[in-house]
Amino acid sequence: MIVNKPYFSTFLLLVTLFCVSNCQQAKPKTTSTAPKEAVEQTPISSPDTIKKEIVETKTYDYDTLQWLDILDLDTSIQVDMKYATTDNFVKEKMYECGRCLLRPDAAKAVAKAHIYLQGKGYGLKMLDCYRPRPIQQKLWDKVPNPTYVTNPAKGSMHNRGLAVDLTLVDENGKELEMGTPFDFFGPKAHTFFADLPDDVLANRKLLRETLKKFGFKHITSEWWHYSYQGARSELSDYLWECE
């Protein structure tokens, strides 16, 4: 068979052009349909559903029957665990990382007190919460004086996960004036020390009355320390996880 070369070349060129243009058109066609199908198959979640899904899929790195991390209840509570820094009376970092864990009932009571204070334009700042007994031992080893540190053999409410050291902050997160810093040892830090400016007395009173309302009792020697009265629990050696 005799092939007319110029015609055959033109034919080949046309076939190639047809194929190239078809391939180029086919690609976007395929990619444009895929996401459309995916969108159609995914149910649209309402904000409430999304919130519920997040709560249900949240995993905790501690036993929630024993403990609650205060930030898992309310992220607007300030947490500045002083024993996870060198800003404390032993001037040494005692925790690998600072977390405010408490027994569940005590944690919920703190969260309620915080919400109550928010209604008045204030909030809570946590300075120490549950203190594992091995940490209490470390403190005791440094300062074996029962005036300042509870003997770990006896154990404190902090070691039971029922005590908090805390202060008040204003709506900008600034600490209110309380007369002394945290862990100041002396009469001026006593809860009912009267020779203080009126605003300091009012701030201490607000902290005291609020916490009392939610089940916490003051001690006389430290304005920042409160113990939860609504539950009992054992001393604990549990050490929380760090990132």
Q: Which residues bind Zn ion (CB under 5 A)?
A: 165, 225
Q: Which is nearer to Zn ion, 66 or 221 (CB)?
A: 221
Angle (CA) 208 87 68, round 5°:
55
The residue among 118 and 150 lying less far from Zn ion, judged by its C-beta, is 150
Select from 208, 100, 84 the least CA-distant residue to 162.
100
- Smallest separation (angstroms) from Zn ion to the CB of 71: 19
Nearer to Zn ion, 125 or 225 (CB): 225
For residue 88, the minimal CB distance to Zn ion (Å) is: 11
CA 174-99-163 angle, to 5 degrees, is 80
Q: Which residues on neighbouring strands pair with residue 101, listed in sequence order?
A: 69
What is the C-alpha to C-alpha distance for residues 98 and 145, in angstroms, rounded to an integer? 24
Shortest gap between Cβ of 131 and Zn ion (angstroms)? 8
Closest approach of Zn ion to the CB of residue 128, in Å: 6
Cβ of residue 196: shortest distance to Zn ion, in angstroms?
A: 20
- Residue with Cβ nearer Zn ion (69 or 165): 165
Quick one: tokens of 184?
């100041």
CB atoms near residue 226 (< 10 Å)? 29
Contacts of 237 (CB under 8 A, 6+ apart): 132, 133, 134
Q: Which is nearer to Zn ion, 90 or 118 (CB)?
A: 90
114 vs 225 by CB, closer to Zn ion: 225
Beta bridge partners of 216: 228
Least distance CB 127 / Zn ion (angstroms)? 8
Q: Which residue is nearest to Zn ion (CB)?
A: 225
Q: For residues 70 and 165, is the Cβ–Cβ distance under 8 A?
A: no
Phi, psi of 113 (to 5 degrees): -60, -40
CA–CA separation, 214 and 111 (whole Å): 10
